[in-house]
Amino acid sequence: MNEQFLNRMQTMIPDEFEAFMASLDQDLYKALRINTKKVDPDRFPEPGLLGKPSPFADHSWYVDRPLGLDPYHICGLFYLQEPSASGVVGLLDVQKDDLVLDLCAAPGSKTTQIAQKLESGMLVCNEIDAKRAQALLSNLERMGVVNFALTNSESGPLCAAFENCFDKVLVDAPCSGEGMLKKHAIVAQTWSMDNILMCAARQKEIVSNAVRALKGGGVLVYSTCTYAKEENEEVVAWILERFPEMELVDCGAAFGRPGLKTPGMDASKVRRVFPMDGGEGQFMAKFVKKGDASNTPALLKNEKPNATERAFLREQVEGDFSFFHHSKEKLFRMEHAFLDFGKLKVVRQGVLVGEMKKNRFEPAHAFYMAADTMDRLKNKVSCGLCEMDAYMHGEQIRIEGEPGFVGVCFDGYPFGFGKSDGHRINNKIPKGMRLLPKSHVRMDGEEQQ
Ligand SMILES: C[S@@+](CC[C@H](N)C(=O)[O-])C[C@H]1O[C@@H](n2cnc3c(N)ncnc32)[C@H](O)[C@@H]1O
């Protein structure tokens, strides 16, 4: 371990340094957050998985094992989220009709948490790294998020295009990641003061853009998963000095501890979590933007599905949808009007329903995963764990039923779709999502690869 890092920690928390060092030898804190859009937390089907409730967020529970291959995880009933990370979104105080921007969103633990709080509102989540944006998209689909746009942009142009537009903005900034020491050995190997200072400069740039995108009266939350003061309290003090319109407000968290005393900011208003507090490490601060500057973002014209698309929707789902948009041959839907992003790179906006191929309509995986249609699907088949395991490995399954497209479910929860010939379901799980040949779904509750 880097000596300078250890010296800094000793200075930062002299009375608890030994406890901090001991925490480095303990297992990582693990937790899951129940997806309230897909399941009533009181009816979570695997209560045996849940350890103690996490103090950081509602519906978040400590767990004691890896659960990435748990069937309910694949169905999107929960998200595996480091417990202290789940404390950040509560500070945003998301209202169901808010327009929210998550500027640094991949892989999506906080963005999917924000989405759970929205109803008629909408989430714009952004990720600068194209590869990480794909991982984020996969999590958004798995969790069944409907009203979202995922952009792949630098923070500057995105925030300039949406000046004074957002009710809430989250900057979960790229940081030196000292709270990830145990998870990623690389953090310890590459620790340096230069890196901390580089991160701090980048954080200030991202926050400056975020302030621009926030409406007057709106809330900005700044968070990191590092302990370095230069990236935490000192960034907060810098924001207050640079942007007089930003007011630091008490983050109102009932967990963790106050920040470190720092000139130019009130450390009692921000929150820190160290491993001694029940999570790996998180810093968070909440600001309100003074004034009433407010812009309404430009919208795209609502489009109508064509006759083939309409026939598909009628055949598959009870009830109606509100907003549609086409891009080339693809059809997307949302329960919020589509936003106009102009020339910005949009990876996805809304639920991909499917695509016209010649004169046929080929549905998409995301369509069957959406949380708001789960109980409205007309054609679905249920399989047991062995069949799900086979299906997730790309095999066909034998189930009698009506020919045509069907949602394929485990315990009533869709995890994909297929095309039935009346006897067998032809596998339509996207290739990139299939399990590796030797991996198994939840054998003895363990992930095995
Ligand atoms: C701490 S991670 C975000 C974690 C995420 N909020 C979550 O809870 O799952 C920070 C993200 O910021 C992205 N990032 C890196 N440089 C950036 C920049 N200059 N502007 C915006 N985002 C950046 C990284 O690719 C990374 O995905």
- pLDDT tens by residue, 343-381: 999 999 999 999 999 999 999 999 999 999 999 999 999
Task: Look over the chain and give the mean of its residue pLDDT values, rounded to a whole number.
Answer: 95
Instruction: Kindly tell me if the per-residue pLDDT of 447 is higher than 50.
Output: no
> What is the pLDDT at residue 305?
98
Q: What are the pLDDT digits (tens) for 126-166?
A: 999 999 999 999 999 999 999 999 999 999 999 999 999 99
Q: Probe ligand 1: pick from 60, 91, 128, max atoms within 8 Å of CB?
A: 128
Q: Which atom of ligand 1 is nearest to the CA of 224?
A: 1
Residue 110 alpha carbon, nearest atom of ligand 1: 8
Strand partners, 151: 126, 346
Q: Which of 225, 251, 383, 409 is catalytic?
A: 225
Q: What is the DSSP string of 284-310?
A: EEEEEE-S----PPPBPPP----HHHH
Q: What is the DSSP letter of 50?
A: -
Per-residue confidence (pLDDT) for residue 438, from 0 to 100: 58
State in Å: Cα 190 to ligand 1 middle.
18
Q: Which helix (H) or strand (E) holds 237?
A: helix 233-242
User: In angstroms, rounded to a whole number, what is the distance separating the alpha carbons of residues 135 and 154?
Assistant: 18
Closest ligand 1 atom number to CA of residue 154: 20
- Angle (deg, nearest 10), helices 109-117 and 130-142: 40
pLDDT 10s digits, 52-61: 999 999 999 9
- Specify the pLDDT at position 14: 97
Residue 73 predicted with pLDDT over 70: yes
The pLDDT tens digits of the residues spanning 179-238 come to 888 777 777 788 999 999 999 999 999 999 999 999 999 999 999 999 999 999 999 999
Query: Which pLDDT band holds residue 5 (cuts at 50, 70, 90)?
Result: very high
pLDDT at res. 170 = 99
- Residue 49: both structure tokens together: 């998985």
Residue whose CA lies nearest to ligand 1 atom number 6: 105
Phi-psi region of 412 (alpha: psi -120 to 50; beta: other; left: phi over 0): left
User: Can you tell me the ipTM of this complex?
Assistant: 0.99
The ligand 1 site (C-beta within 6 Å) comprises 85, 103-110, 127-129, 132, 154-155, 172, 174, 202, 206
State how far the alpha carbon of 38 is from the alpha carbons of 143, 226, 391, 412, in Å: 8, 32, 21, 11
Q: Is the torsion defined by CA of 24, 25, 29, 30 positive or negative?
A: positive
225 part of the active site: yes
Q: What is the pLDDT of residues 234-284, one digit of tens each?
A: 999 999 999 999 999 999 999 999 999 999 999 999 999 999 999 999 999
Q: Distance, CA 135 to ligand 1 centroid (Å)?
A: 12
Q: Determine the atom of ligand 1 nearest the C-alpha atom of 108.
A: 9
Q: What is the residue with the minimal CA distance to atom 25 of ligand 1?
A: 129
| CA of 44 relative to ligand 1 center, distance in Å | 31
Residue matched to tokens 């990582």: 28
pLDDT for residue 446 is more than 50:
no
Q: Which residue has the higher pLDDT, 169 or 449?
A: 169
Confidence of residue 441 (pLDDT cuts 50, 70, 90): low
Gap from CA of 175 to ligand 1 centroid (Å) = 8
Torsion of CA 130, 132, 133, 136, to 10 degrees: 170
Query: Ligand 1 centroid vs 104 CA: distance in angstroms?
Result: 4
| Residues in the chain, total | 449
Ligand 1 mean position, distance from CA 243 (Å): 22
First-to-last C-alpha distance (Å) of the chain: 30
Q: How many angstroms separate the alpha carbon of residue 180 from the centre of ligand 1?
A: 14
CA dihedral for 249, 255, 258, 264, sign (positive or negative): negative
Residue 369: the pLDDT is 98
By alpha-carbon position, which residue is closest to atom 27 of ligand 1?
Answer: 106
Which class would CATH give 379-449?
mainly beta
- Helix H or strand E segment including 52: none
Cis, bond preceding 107 (omega within 30 deg of 0): yes
The confidence band for 436, taking pLDDT boundaries of 50, 70 and 90, is confident
Nearest CA residue ID for atom 15, ligand 1: 174
Mutate to test the pocket of ligand 1, among 104, 152, 176, 199 (most ligand atoms within 8 A of CB): 104
What CA–CA distance (Å, rounded) separates 36 from 117?
Answer: 9
